[in-house]
Structure formats: structure tokens, C-alpha cells
A and B are shown apart, each in its own frame.
Chain A
Amino acid sequence: DIQMTQSPSTVSASVGDRVTITCRASQSVSNWLAWYQQKPGKAPKALIYKASSLESGVPSRFSGSGSGTEFTLTISSLQPDDFATYYCQEYNSYWTFGQGTKVEIK
């Protein structure tokens, strides 16, 4: 089974900050990786697929990169609406999620 590990578990940041979240896979998933955003009490929302492709309607301040076993999600300038929990998900084998990274207000 592929394990997905995100770091950090929590990041404290201010509006306007650049935020980077890392996701590591226990074995290569090529570029078959997605990122989701989840707000409290709501369903997740897909942000990025195929490691770096932006879903329709997602602001361009979100970007993804990486391949193989290491991936990053970057928010270039954090906005108030971006405080949420972010999950990576591989789809090279099954559809395994990382444990999540909470972006909180500093």
C-alpha cells in the first residue's frame, strides 16, 4: 500500500504570506497526485490534479509541483478564504489521502 505523508501538520500564517505544504509518497506515484481544500463542516474541494494542473475556477495563487515521491502545494499570497485544511491524494494505485495540513491564522 502507498502511504502519503504531509508536512507540516499545521502551518500558522498571515494574510499575504507564501505558504508551502509538502506531500511525500512511500513509493513513486509518477505525477498522479491531487490536492483538495476542506473547510470545517464542508466537503472537500478539488484544487489541483496531475500534480500541477489547476481545476477550473481555482485561483491562480494556488500551484502544485513535483513528481515521483515528493510534491508541494504553494499558495503564493494567502487570502482570508484560504484558511482551511489541505489534503493530497495519490491516484497511481488506489486513491489514498494524506493526513491533512491545517492552515491557521497566525
Chain B
Amino acid sequence: QMQLQESGPGQAKPSETLSLTCLVSGGSISSRSYYWGWIRQPPGQGLEWIGSMFSSGSTYYNPSLNSRVTISVDTSKNQFSLKLSSVTAADTAVYYCGRHRMIRGRLDVFDVWGQGTLVTVSS
């Protein structure tokens, strides 16, 4: 059974770059049926899709974050990563990685999720 596990620093300073990695186990990140994405949830608030990436490098980013987000995939390590630059307190959130399912060429739900990791932006 596929599992996803986020890792990375739990804190970041304002104006710095937040970096997280998601390790995929129980299946290949090179599967042609899935993209791989990031979603975040500020404390006590709702969900926000950040971006999704295919193993070939094709990406979709949330337009509201596009200029600050980079998602990359390392197929040799079966993992993918998130970098979010110029962070502020508003970027404090639980960050989830997820498997973004593709059906007939359309990305629909995140059907497998990591447990989430809290990142706090504070000086």
C-alpha cells in the first residue's frame, strides 16, 4: 500500500525559503497515472492547493503562489520536493503531500495523503 511521508524543517524565518520533501513508498513515483502535489492548511483554516507535478517535469501551480513555488521530482529517490520562497507568517501551515490521480487525462482528487507537517514562519 502506497504511503507518503513529508520531511523538512518545522520552522522558517521570514523572507527565507521553505523546503519540504515527500518520500513515496509502496509504489513508483514514475507511474503514468498520477501527478504528485502539495496542499497546505493554515491552523484552524481550510485547504489550499499549492501545486502538482508529473514525473516527467510537467507542473501546475496555484496562480496565487506561482511566483514563489517550485516543485521538483527525484525519480531515483522516489521523492518529490516543495520550495516556497520569500515566506511570511501567512505561510504558516500544515503542509501535506499527496498523490494526485489522473483519469482520462484529467487530474481529479488527491487519493493518497501524507500525514502532514507543520511549518511555522517566525523570526
Q: List residues of chain A with CB under 8 Å of any chain B CB.
A: 1, 32, 34, 36, 38, 42-46, 49-50, 55, 87, 89, 91, 94-100
Q: Please tell me which one of the listed residues B63, B64, B115 contacts residue A43 in the complex, with CB atoms under 8 A apart.
A: B115
Q: Does B14 contact A (CB under 8 A)?
A: no
Determine whether the beta carbon of A94 is less than 8 Å from that of B110: no
Q: Which chain B positions have C-beta within 8 A of A42?
A: 115
Determine whether the beta carbon of B46 is less than 8 Å from that of A49: no
Determine whether the beta carbon of B46 is less than 8 Å from that of A95: no
Task: Mark interface residues in B47-66 (1 if CB within 8 Å of A CB, else 0).
Answer: 11100100000001011100
Nearest-neighbour CB distance to chain B for A62, whole angstroms, equals: 14
SS of B interface (majority): strand
Q: Does B96 contact A (CB under 8 A)?
A: yes
SS of A interface (majority): loop
> Given A1-B63, A44-B113, A87–B46 Cβ distance below 8 Å?
yes
Interface size for B (C-beta < 8 A) is 23
| Additional 19 contacts, C-beta under 8 A, given A36-B47, A55-B111, A96-B49 | A32-B106, A34-B108, A34-B109, A38-B47, A43-B96, A43-B113, A43-B114, A43-B116, A46-B111, A49-B108, A50-B108, A87-B46, A89-B47, A91-B109, A94-B60, A94-B62, A94-B63, A95-B100, A95-B107
User: Which of B48, B49, B108 has its CB near the most chain A CB atoms (within 10 A)?
Assistant: B108
Residue of A nearest to B47 (CB): A97
Residue of A nearest to B111 (CB): A46
> Given A43-B114, A43-B116, A94-B60, A32–B46 Cβ distance below 8 Å?
no
Task: For the complex, give the distance between the alpha carbons of A96 and B39 in Å.
Answer: 10
Instruction: Return 28 A-B CB contacts under 8 Å, by A number.
Output: A34-B108, A36-B47, A43-B98, A43-B113, A43-B115, A44-B47, A44-B96, A44-B110, A44-B113, A45-B113, A46-B111, A49-B109, A50-B108, A55-B111, A87-B46, A87-B47, A89-B47, A89-B109, A91-B107, A91-B108, A94-B62, A94-B63, A95-B49, A97-B47, A97-B48, A97-B49, A98-B46, A100-B47
